[in-house]
Amino acid sequence: MKRGTRAFLCTLLATSLAACGAAPAGTAQSGTAGEPAGQEAMGRWVESTVDLGGREVLGDPMLRADGTLVLYTCENDLDAMTAGSLMRLTSADNGETWTEEDTGWGELIDGPVLQVLEAADGTVCLTCVTQRLDDRGQNEYGTYLVQPGGQPEPLQLDGVENGNVSARYAAFCGNALVFVVSNYPAQDATYELVRYDLADKTTTVLPLDLDTSYGAMVQPAAAGGKLLFTAYGDNGIKLVSLDPQTGAVADVLDPLSAAISGALTADESGAAYYPSNQGIYRLAAGGTLPEQIVPADATALSVESNYPRSICRTANGDFLVTQLNMGDEVQTVYRYHYDESLPTHAATTLNIWALEDSATARAAVTAYKQQHPEVDVNFTVALQEDAADPAAARNDALTQLNTQLLAGEGPDVLLLDGVDYETYVQKGILADLSGAVPMDELQQNLVAAFAADGKTFVLPARFSVPVLVGDDGTLDGLDSLAALQQAVLDAAPRADFGDDSPDYYDGLPDGEKYALGLTDAEDMADFLLPVCASSILQGGALDADALRETLTFVQTVADYYGMEAYTLENNVASTQSWSGADPVTVNAPMGEYTYCNRALYGWAQLDTPYAALMLARNGDPMSAEAQDIPFSIIRRPGLTEGAYTPKVLVGVNAASQNLEQAQALAATFFDRDVQENYYNDGMTVRADCLAEKLDAVLHNEGYDPDVFAGDLHALLDGCTTPVAVPAVLRNSFVQHADAMIAGDETVDEAAAGMERELSLYLAEQQ
């Protein structure tokens, strides 16, 4: 089974941004501080998407000399290694509307097109890929040149193999086509500049002295007579200039503030423009302080899982940005237009509050803004990643929120992950969502627990499932925490083992394998609480028997493994994916089964059904030819039957001054346009989207269908009990589990300590 590599495929819905940002260069921005009193400030950036017709975008949108925009798309068949119709999209109104035509080039080239680059005069360079039929592991590339009005012809470069250059790492600069070639291995990469003169058809090759910390492909942008590109430097991403005549390289700005990718464009003055998850920035020629032109708030730019692939500046100063969603690997071209006819600030502003950032929430905000440009949305993340004391910061954030809510104030929409939402429901703080959200379109077994008495005050927009993975047939009978504890004792103990162990990939014979990869108190909390927390705390009370059974598992496994003496850590994690599939992260405990062949069982949170195609182990993890072992996945045994983890928990403040709009915003979290995409934060809760996802997994042609021997439908349909783990429970559990592992507490002592700590918490919830 081959682990796939990332590939890309790729819709005009208007959405206003929450803040106006700076107007495009050369555009007079109204609505400044100098406006006469009483005159409304005007002008704001508007985000929209370009309809690609479901086809794959082939490179950057480009600007012709006459101001026309051009963009190429194609329906490549990567399995058959053939190019579909290569379509040219053009826009004469700065990207507002597009005209489409078939170039007819698809049948004239040797394989699927990877990249198309067009010069201001209409000259085109394109690169395609072909694969040898006798060795699909080897790729061959071909680059073509198309003169204005002509047909593709193989590009002839004197002294340079055609397959060594790519339109992806090229730029038209003056009368030349310039390629930057990276020669691997990456750790010792060397670079060359290949300049092809379009007039006399001569080729010049110059060595480049690039220091980018490690090998990186260079994507240049023409800036007057020079080229600009971003590269990895010692301090982060830096901006570098390149003289295409001499090959001279010079750092322009190190680091380049907020830059996160190679997406870059420039103008004739030498100014550079680049997108990030904070907005679109401009760095003037010779400047050292990038200026934010377009703010990211309430746009696709702010979605953490979006990665900017390219940027184009239009003739009127608008922007086109191609974003790759790293969750489902779909590319989308977004247009950012500065509309002076719109007020700078909308009449209504909605506020969303969350303890932590959420990609799904940002996607929902973007979708809502597309539907309601008359409303601004502010998204506040209470906890900062660099908080010196995260626990104290969490308590402060919750105290402030509770004070506001109890006073009949506070944000309009709440994301209640990590918050005791049941208390909010009991106190009447949350509004009913059942009339706003299409409940009948959601997966009923997931939402039934949130819809008691016909009212719904909180709903999860995503979910994951705590699972156990093992060879087919080995999971039979593991239907309780007690059965799982016995399985640990029936297998070998786990020796001290970590990512520095020399035998990491050597595996163990079946008779010497241990049951589970568990190493410390944090592992114990991650393993047990998602399937036990709601049994320990239920109905506003603590179940002492459930607590002791959970702690007994910790003590039994820790003693049997000799965990107190562990000195090694296993922090290895990897993400696997291929074209069209959700990425699957294999964490360290899962890897001890999948990759190391040491554990009888792996355990993880199932965030996507695609895990069914990527968690198999094989007989020899170091051999690409080894066969995968059929395996199955079950819901992790614990104290709670049908446990699943609700995520992105959406609620609306009943005291909101804009209740109807707030409920509509909450409902957007469950729109198909949001739910059908994967943002690395859990599975969709829409029944239609989940069914389509399961169908795509079970009928995937890239993996052997016989390797996964389980039943995904049964696994997900059996998720009936949402289990949210309060932070206070987890913190107390980790503290006392750690004491038990160290031999400082017994089960009874740990249970007594947790009961004291949790009794105070429970009293405060009354």
- Residues 341, 377, single domain; the answer is no
Tokens (6 digits) for 188: 């010792």
Least confident of 77-86, 167-176, 421-430: 77-86
- Residues 308, 427, single domain; the answer is no
Q: Are 447 and 459 in contact (CB under 8 A)?
A: yes
- Residues 230, 159, single domain; the answer is yes
Establish if 424 belongs to a structural domain.
yes
| Confidence check: pLDDT of 186 > 80 | no
- Residues 301, 389, single domain; the answer is no
Confidence of residue 28 (pLDDT cuts 50, 70, 90): very low
| Confidence check: pLDDT of 696 > 70 | yes
| Confidence check: pLDDT of 413 > 50 | yes
Query: Which residues, 6 or more positions from 650, have their beta carbon under 8 angstroms from its beta carbon?
Result: 413, 414, 415, 416, 433, 458, 459, 460, 461, 666, 669
Establish if 512 belongs to a structural domain.
no
| Confidence check: pLDDT of 27 > 50 | no
The C-alpha atoms of residue 453 and residue 468 are separated, in whole angstroms, by 34
Confidence of residue 67 (pLDDT cuts 50, 70, 90): very high
Give the tens place of pLDDT for each residue, 650-681: 999 999 999 999 999 999 999 999 999 898 89
* CA distances, 284 to each of 45, 268, 293, 569 (Å): 21, 11, 12, 47
- Residues 282, 387, single domain; the answer is no
Question: What CATH number should be reported for the domain holding residue 386?
Answer: 3.40.190.10
3-state secondary structure 524-577: HHHHHHHHHHHHHEECCEECHHHHHHHHHHHHHHHHHHCHHHCCCCCCCCEEEC
Establish if 704 belongs to a structural domain.
no
pLDDT at 619: 76
Establish if 356 belongs to a structural domain.
no
- Residues 334, 420, single domain; the answer is no
Tokens (6 digits) for 298: 């309430």
Distance from CA of residue 342 to its chain's centroid?
A: 32
pLDDT at 386: 78
Pairing, β 153-154 against β 170-173: unpaired
| Confidence check: pLDDT of 697 > 50 | yes
| Confidence check: pLDDT of 604 > 60 | yes
Any idea which residue has 């994951």 for tokens? Answer: 464
Give the tens place of pLDDT for each residue, 248-292: 999 999 899 888 888 999 999 999 999 999 999 999 999 999 999
pLDDT at 618: 84
pLDDT at 217: 58
Confidence of residue 56 (pLDDT cuts 50, 70, 90): confident
- Residues 298, 380, single domain; the answer is no
Q: What is the mean pLDDT of residues 453-467?
A: 96
pLDDT at 705: 74
| Confidence check: pLDDT of 82 > 60 | no
Q: What is the mean pLDDT of residues 198-219?
A: 77
pLDDT, mean over the chain: 88
| Confidence check: pLDDT of 624 > 70 | no
Establish if 445 belongs to a structural domain.
yes
Least confident of 49-58, 177-186, 324-333: 177-186
Any idea which residue has 């940005």 for tokens? Answer: 321
| Confidence check: pLDDT of 342 > 60 | yes
Establish if 211 belongs to a structural domain.
yes
Give the tens place of pLDDT for each residue, 528-553: 999 999 999 998 899 999 999 999 99
**231 dihedral zone (left: phi>0; alpha: psi -120 to 50; beta):** beta
pLDDT at 351: 97
pLDDT at 761: 82
Give the tens place of pLDDT for each residue, 477-497: 999 999 999 999 999 999 999
Query: Which residues, 6 or more positions from 543, have their beta carbon under 8 angstroms from its beta carbon?
Result: 535, 536, 537
- Residues 396, 293, single domain; the answer is no
- Residues 396, 298, single domain; the answer is no
Residue-level length of the chain: 766
Number of domains into which the chain is organized: 2
- Residues 261, 381, single domain; the answer is no
Share of the chain above pLDDT 90, in %: 65
- Residues 340, 377, single domain; the answer is no
Cα dihedral value 613, 616, 622, 625, nearest 10:
-70
Confidence of residue 78 (pLDDT cuts 50, 70, 90): low
Confidence of residue 242 (pLDDT cuts 50, 70, 90): very high
- Residues 278, 389, single domain; the answer is no
Establish if 517 belongs to a structural domain.
no
| Spatial CA neighbour of 177 closest among 164, 162, 167 | 167
pLDDT at 212: 54
Tokens (6 digits) for 551: 């702690």
pLDDT at 420: 87
Q: Are 1 and 628 in contact (CB under 8 A)?
A: yes
pLDDT at 36: 52
Confidence of residue 577 (pLDDT cuts 50, 70, 90): confident
| Confidence check: pLDDT of 693 > 60 | yes
The C-alpha atoms of residue 225 and residue 39 are separated, in whole angstroms, by 44
Establish if 492 belongs to a structural domain.
no
3-state secondary structure 664-721: HHHHHCCCHHHHCCCCCCCEECEHHHHHHHHHHHHCCCCCCCCCECCCHHHHHHCCCE
pLDDT at 716: 97
Q: What is the mean pLDDT of residues 422-430?
A: 93
| Confidence check: pLDDT of 100 > 90 | yes
The C-alpha atoms of residue 304 and residue 422 are separated, in whole angstroms, by 29
Element (H, E) at 764: helix 747-765
Instruction: Look up the domain containing 443 and give its range.
Output: 367-462+646-698
pLDDT at 7: 32
The C-alpha atoms of residue 626 and residue 608 are separated, in whole angstroms, by 25
pLDDT at 83: 60
Question: What CATH number should be reported for the domain holding residue 79?
Answer: 2.120.10.30
pLDDT at 291: 96
The C-alpha atoms of residue 160 and residue 163 are separated, in whole angstroms, by 9
